Structure 1
């Protein structure tokens, strides 16, 4: 009887543990539309006509902000997004793109190095340079954007690890 009770508890513990870990992750901030495509900035840069007027949800690290007379442009290095749509900036980039924002964007509020996620529509492409190399930037008309704080980037990451040996963690 005790052995059977132990088996039931063990079988129930694994699903409960997985459910608890999944509950720690925040929900995505943007819902895909029927027109949303799952692609990357570097793919769009190679075939901008194919993705004209497609909706995207992209994120990355801000490189620069340029304010023009009627809009602002934010150059971003794209990164994959996690399940909560936070940029995963610890891996390789997806290429660069330009987020086109209506009106004036204060560069102090969108500093270089900040992480951002946005929802918008591919509105074309533009050639430019990264250093001295030629580059094709996809242009995205921004409908919504979110700058990530350090606290938001770490929320939903449980302080649970499994392993053997001795470890020291400093936060």
Structure 2
């Protein structure tokens, strides 16, 4: 019995990813719905994620432009799915733009503050602005230590000349 408990605890200790409390969030509210809606979603709690498009360090916060994607059960953006619009997120303090570079995946929980008008290329665009309460920068797929744990059972035979 103690060995089984140690095994279970070992597996739990290997779990990676964000541990956001999603109980009070609106999962059906997407950035594109908020941007197109005239109804105010200000004050709503959401968990959104996607791919970083741009990072801009401001005096007291870092502003990230994110291309949103649906989230999987671990709250990782599913980039193989259809994008759900763009949003801006303001994270208090300084985030290193080399780490938070375009192409990186980010999941954020926070409160919708407002909608602002900006541009995507030459096209005007309405961005929902999310005040971050917590965020998780997903490791790059090619970074060491980001592969999933593997369990092998068998007999290994190594032959050499």
Would you say same fold, with TM above 0.5? yes
Gaps of 5+ in 1: 1-22, 159-171
Instruction: State how far apart, in whole Å, the 2-side matches of 1:40 and 1:136 are.
Output: 13
Q: Which runs of 5+ in 2 are unaligned?
A: 1-11, 152-161
TM-score, normalised on structure 2? 0.74
Which residue number in structure 1 is paired with residue 105 of structure 2? 115
Equivalent residue, structure 1, for 2:95? 105
Matching residue within 37, 43, 57 for 2:26? 37
Q: 1:104 to 1:132 in 2, by over 3 A?
A: same
- Contact residue 79 and residue 89 of structure 1 kept, 8 A: yes
Q: Distance in 1 between matches of 2:146 and 2:100?
A: 16
C-alpha distance in structure 2 between counterparts of 1:153 and 1:49, whole Å: 41
User: What RMSD, in angstroms, separates the aligned Cα atoms of the two structures?
Assistant: 2.6
Q: Normalized per residue, which structure has more helix? A: 1
Q: Distance in 2 between matches of 1:78 and 1:72?
A: 18
Say which of 77, 92, 102 aligns to 1:87: 77
**Would you say how many aligned residue pairs link Structure 1 and Structure 2?**
135
Superposed displacement of residue 91, structure 1: 1.8
